Amino acid sequence: TTTRGPARCCSAVETKISPLFTLGKKFHLDDVIEAQQFDRDTLNAIFEVAREMEEIEMNPSGSQILKGFIMATLFYEPSTRTRLSFECAMKRLGGEVLTTENAREFSSAAKGETLEDTIRTVEGYSDIIVLRHFESGATRRAAATASIPVINAGDGPGQHPTQALLDIYTIDREISKLDGIKVALVGDLANGRTVRSLAYLLAKYKDVKIYFVSPEVVKMKDDIKDYLTSEGVEWEESADLIDVASKCDVVYQTRIQKERFGERTDLYEEARGKYIVDSDVLDVMQKHAVVMHPLPRLDEITVDVDLDPRAAYFRQAKNGLYIRMALLKLLLVGW
């Protein structure tokens, strides 16, 4: 059991079962496990706190909101971008960080210790755990075990909810609305958990239209299409990026994941060059529209695009900081 006063209020074990959030007199957020756990009100609340975090981050004297709290970043596979973003978030709020960059070779895991046992030990040394794991569902297991909050920083092919949150937050910040937007999801739609989570969250908004633009071998899977249909979200597949880009508010490009093609490098090379965001795409895009990308990018967005103000992907990466600051604040000291 945790013994840190402020943490206790936010990690009540008895409310571990869904709904993970209750909006009332006090906003409750116990763990961050998957994109689906968030409803519109919760998203709005998180985004409101994230906006406050932008102010705090700009303040050179910094913040001490989380002074005295320790975050353990327990990463079973390396992801420096995500890790640095979380660790920066904690430090910008005055908190402390314990890091395990490669917990898979963690002597204990290597010796056969269960994730549950590891969590029971690490929760004794920290106030919140940020978990990156190679197995889908690992965060849910960790959260069920831990008496302190757990944040999913990506678990295998499963979820990466803070990425989904920062994506939606970026659209809101860049386009100033979420209802009624048109979004193109481009590239590797079969393997990218990013676009899958984003599609889930977009379904919470009204009159959203989604275009899927991808090579045949990596097209969006039926489960997401069926989900969108069941939620009344309009979607269509298209092979014409220029046409789609001219209509959309957001062109969300993704990297073709070479590692998923195995020895079929011919298929990879074919898929890779098919839909590139370049100056031709920019030329047809509306003035208020933006290009997004979860990064890292290879050449699926040409570097000349970077100079256009509609290139939002580095601002998007920065928004990850604000979202993670907001989540840490909400999980550790509450609304």
Residues identified as active-site: 81-82, 111, 132, 160
Distance between start and end Cα atoms, the chain: 23
Q: Does 96 bind a copy of itself (CB under 8 A)?
A: yes
Name the one residue in this structure whose structure tokens are 């795409």.
Answer: 281
Q: Considering only residues 29-88, where is the footprint of a copy of itself by CB under 8 A?
A: 57-62, 67-68, 70, 72, 77-81, 84-85, 87-88
Q: Does 307 bind a copy of itself (CB under 8 A)?
A: no
Q: What is the residue type of 229?
A: T
CA atoms 130, 134, 136, 142: torsion sign: negative
Q: Least distance in Å: CB of 219 to a copy of itself? A: 22
Among 39, 41, 117, 240, binds a copy of itself (CB under 8 A): 117
Alpha helices by DSSP H, the chain: 5-8, 40-58, 80-92, 107-110, 115-122, 138-145, 161-175, 193-202, 222-230, 241-247, 265-272, 279-284, 313-332
CA distance 322 to 57: 8
Name the one residue in this structure whose structure tokens are 């570097």.
Answer: 303
Q: Does 5 bind a copy of itself (CB under 8 A)?
A: yes
- Print the binding letters for residues 242-271 with a copy of itself: x by CB under 8 A, - otherwise: -------------x--x-------------
DSSP single-letter state for residue 149: -
Q: Least distance in Å: CB of 45 to a copy of itself? A: 24
Tell me, by CB under 8 A, how many residues bind a copy of itself. Answer: 57
Name the one residue in this structure whose structure tokens are 């220029």.
Answer: 242
Q: Least distance in Å: CB of 243 to a copy of itself? A: 28
Q: Least distance in Å: CB of 246 to a copy of itself? A: 27
Q: Least distance in Å: CB of 276 to a copy of itself? A: 15
Report residue 58 CA to chain centroid gap: 23
Among 65, 98, 217, 284, binds a copy of itself (CB under 8 A): 98
Closest of 180, 190, 191, 113 to residue 156, by C-alpha:
191
* Residues of the shown chain interacting with a copy of itself in the complex, contacts defined by CB under 8 A: 3-7, 57-62, 67-68, 70, 72, 77-81, 84-85, 87-88, 91-92, 96, 98-101, 103, 105-108, 111-113, 117-118, 120-122, 124-126, 255, 258, 295-298, 314, 317-318, 321
